[in-house]
Amino acid sequence: MALIVLKFGGTSVGNVDRIKRVAELVTKARGTGEEVVVVLSAMSGETDRLLKLAHEVADCPDEREMDMLLSTGERVTIALLAMALRGMGLSARSYTGRQVGIMTDSTHTKARIERIAADRIREALDDGIIPIVAGFQGINEHNDVTTLGRGGSDLTAVALAAALKADQCLIYTDVDGVYTADPNIVPAAKKLDKVSYEEMLELASLGAKVLQSRSVEFAANYGVPVTVKSTFVDGTGTLVTKEDRDMEQVMVSGVTGDRNQAKITFIGVPDHPGIASRIFGPIGAANILVDMIIQNVGQGDLTDLSFTIPRGDVHKAVDLANRIAKDIGAKSVELKDKIAKVSLVGVGMRSHSGVAARMFETLARKGINIMMISTSEIKISCVIEEQHLEPAIRSLHEAFELGRA
Ligand code: ADP
Ligand code: ASP
Ligand code: MG
């Protein structure tokens, strides 16, 4: 019997009627004779609401307590879906991350899954019960609740699919697949029938929140076939899979943007060997992910050094940066948080030249200033003012002719 993992995102379980719709989809999947495991997100807006509450009681809320709070959203939806399914005569049971043995490290709010003891799910399946698992959460070695980073229910689904050796992992959401750009920003965006793990990983890491980037990394590592589909309309969706020759033919597969960016600049840093490690050592140790780094040409024996981080880490990073600045004798620390990153992604970039030039020219024609640039084999990213993000995405989508034929 085939085993499938079905994951439903926040909009798909956003109210009681939608939970009933999900119950129907689960019943239908079960009716085709497949073994089904369901993973759910919290209702849309719930995790943001909880985050806001936390910031109303503390400037820099304790991360262990934050996880205790955030993990509650998913408990609501799993219990409601299990009740709905039982009301329809099916045998279903809800489980928290702890109950299904999702073991993580202790990096609260962005924990990594270390292993899954999925026996409880196997037992439920063997007893003919549909397990409904809370996404986005696990426990660490101290039995404390952890969460897996925003969008982390995708990771729960993929990791469970890998642990259970499922035949498929279906991610049900509010769009009917992965598009050449966020269809809510670019109405002319085109749905992709398939996309390689590598491209999807870049798109997701660079802001296309349709899949959480870690879930894609996990899917690639364990070869889990993932399909992104709509909860609301029928369709084949987008298959995320291994790269093939057709994919290489396309110069650019997608354009994406990320507002979750902030830039910190150390001004007047002594230009000595070892300074970069004294800056980035403590920042890395605080689990702050640094993305782009620019060191300006020094004047005299002083230089400026800028880097970008996720906006959610700004409080922590600025406090730390001020302490580091004192320690290394830098003049000051400057924060700019109204920035964004726009990126082009495509495995075809390996064999096509001129993508960067066309990207810079397109942004220049729009009068958009580029603050930082970074490239890899299959992507080019530019940091720009946040207010220019959507026009940049739309004009790049047009310049690279990514729209509907
Ligand atoms: P869920 O709550 O189901 O996890 P998300 O909001 O996390 O859903 O992800 C779905 C959203 O991702 C879509 O509504 C869309 O706005 C956004 N998105 C961003 N980039 C893309 C893309 N390239 N293709 C499809 N959707 C995208
Ligand atoms: N509820 C969590 C979030 O909003 C996890 C998820 O939806 O995947 O980020
Ligand atoms: Mg999501």
pLDDT of 368 = 98
pLDDT of 353 = 86
Q: Tell me the pLDDT tens digit for each residue of 53-102.
A: 999 999 889 999 999 999 999 999 999 999 999 999 999 999 999 999 99
Whether 21 maps to a domain, the answer reads: yes
Which ligand 2 atom lies nearest to the CA of residue 41?
7
pLDDT of 213 = 96
114 CB contacts (<8 Å, ≥6 apart)? 103, 104, 105
Whether 150 is in the pocket of ligand 2, judged by its Cβ within 6 Å, is yes
Q: Tell me the pLDDT tens digit for each residue of 355-402.
A: 999 999 999 999 999 999 999 999 999 999 999 999 999 999 999 999
CA nearest neighbour of 84 among 32, 151, 15: 15
Number of compact structural domains in the chain: 1
Ligand 3 (single-atom ion) residues, CB below 5 Å: 9, 151
Can you give the CATH number for the domain in which 97 is found?
3.40.1160.10
Whether 42 is in the pocket of ligand 2, judged by its Cβ within 6 Å, is yes
CA–CA distances in Å: residue 331 to residues 264, 316, 323, 335, 383? 13, 20, 12, 14, 25
Taking CA atoms only, the protein residue closest to ligand 2 atom 6 is 151
Query: Structure pTM?
Result: 0.93
Amino acid at 150: R
Distance of CA 132 to the CA centre of its chain: 22
Taking CA atoms only, the protein residue closest to ligand 2 atom 8 is 151
The CA 265 to ligand 2 mean position distance, Å, reads 31
In the chain, % of residues over pLDDT 90: 89
Which ligand 2 atom lies nearest to the CA of residue 156?
8
76 CB contacts (<8 Å, ≥6 apart)? 42, 43, 46
Q: Tell me the pLDDT tens digit for each residue of 252-283.
A: 999 999 999 999 999 999 988 899 999 999 99
Whether 350 maps to a domain, the answer reads: no
Whether 237 is in the pocket of ligand 1, judged by its Cβ within 6 Å, is no
Integer Cα distance of 24 and 32 in angstroms: 13
Whether 161 maps to a domain, the answer reads: yes
Whether 47 is in the pocket of ligand 2, judged by its Cβ within 6 Å, is yes
pLDDT of 189 = 97
Q: Which domain holds residue 23?
A: 3-174
Q: State the SS3 of 279-312.
A: HHHHHHHCCCCCCCEEECCCECCEEEEEEEECHH
Whether 357 maps to a domain, the answer reads: no
